[in-house]
Amino acid sequence: MKAITYAQFGNTEVFELTEVADPHPGPDSIVVEVKAAGINPVDYKVREGYLAGLIDTQFPVVPGWDVAGVVAQVGLDTPEFQVGDEVYAYARKDSIGGGTLAELVAVPVRTAAHKPSSIGFEQAAAVPLAGLTALQTVRRAGVASGQTVLVHGAAGGVGSFAVQLALHAGATVVGTASATNHDYLRDLGVTPIEYGDGLVERALAQSPAGYDIILDYAGGASLDHTSELLTKGGVVASVADPRAATEFGGHYVWVRPDSTDLEELAELIDDGALKVEVANTFALADTADAYAELEGGHVRGKIVVVP
């Protein structure tokens, strides 16, 4: 099969479009014919070697953890799925190697669920990592009806799901984003504010009493003014800054594959409570261009690669 691979850590120049052996299903996994694969910022952090001490890497690497496609083979004990089922998955394994930027990928059933029926494969491939990250941070922070929530990076791949989930929970949501994404956030029901200098004043103008929950999907300086914005007893959760836990007593979240959570996201999508934004789509051969756009920053929603 065709796949994108790299044999050493580095920038997008290490990518190669190559022929590799077809994967085989383990006893509790399925082989998925890839219809679309979502890409994420963590992918290029892995490729550049920043996670080398955290997760083992098996070269040559086929990158990618997000996938939507059709079950081509099933393992010995996979009653959840049959050949021909349309599925999506956050197919992260215990080591980095056999990823989703390929024509076929082996997927542990614990990471997969049936695809939302109301959207296509490209939109479905944009959901798993970002959607799970948003769901798990919103849940960990305890977002509830009547609360006021500040979301940093509100228009990004994770943030755009998180604001919708917080709104669905009954919260009032203010989100930081560049001015070009403010209309997009307003359409979702979010009050947008510009990040950068003057953020505290802009945020407090929208919620003078402060915020019950702060969700950080941007990192950098986003949490610098948390003490000025968080209400007494408020909660911070971040996927990008460990200070959420070490300095503010909140949560530093690393997303987990979870088939039950994917099923919940699928239900929300099919019920119309969660919209999926695809920023751009690239062919497998143009994977380097896809990552170049992602790494340039300020992408609204998700970028997807199609074999």
User: What does the pLDDT look like over 189-226, one tens digit per residue?
Assistant: 999 999 999 999 999 999 999 999 999 999 999 999 99
DSSP H helical ranges for the chain: 41-47, 121-125, 128-141, 159-168, 182-188, 199-206, 226-229, 243-246, 259-270, 287-295
Kindly state the tokens that stand for 69: 């496609």
pLDDT value at residue 298: 82
pLDDT value at residue 126: 98
Maximum pairwise Cα distance, the chain: 59
Distance from C-alpha of 224 to C-alpha of 226, rounded to nearest angstrom: 6
191-193 and 112-114 strand pairing: unpaired
Closest Cα to residue 304, out of 73, 43, 112?
Answer: 43
Distance from C-alpha of 304 to C-alpha of 85, rounded to nearest angstrom: 21
Distance linking the first and last C-alpha atoms of the chain: 10
pLDDT value at residue 297: 84
278-283 and 302-306 strand pairing: parallel
Q: Which parts of the chain sit beneath pLDDT 50?
A: none
0.95 exceeded by the pTM? yes
Radius of gyration from C-alpha coordinates of the chain: 19
pLDDT value at residue 213: 98
pLDDT value at residue 9: 97
Distances (CA, A) of 107 to 54, 98, 125: 21, 9, 14
148-152 and 66-74 strand pairing: unpaired
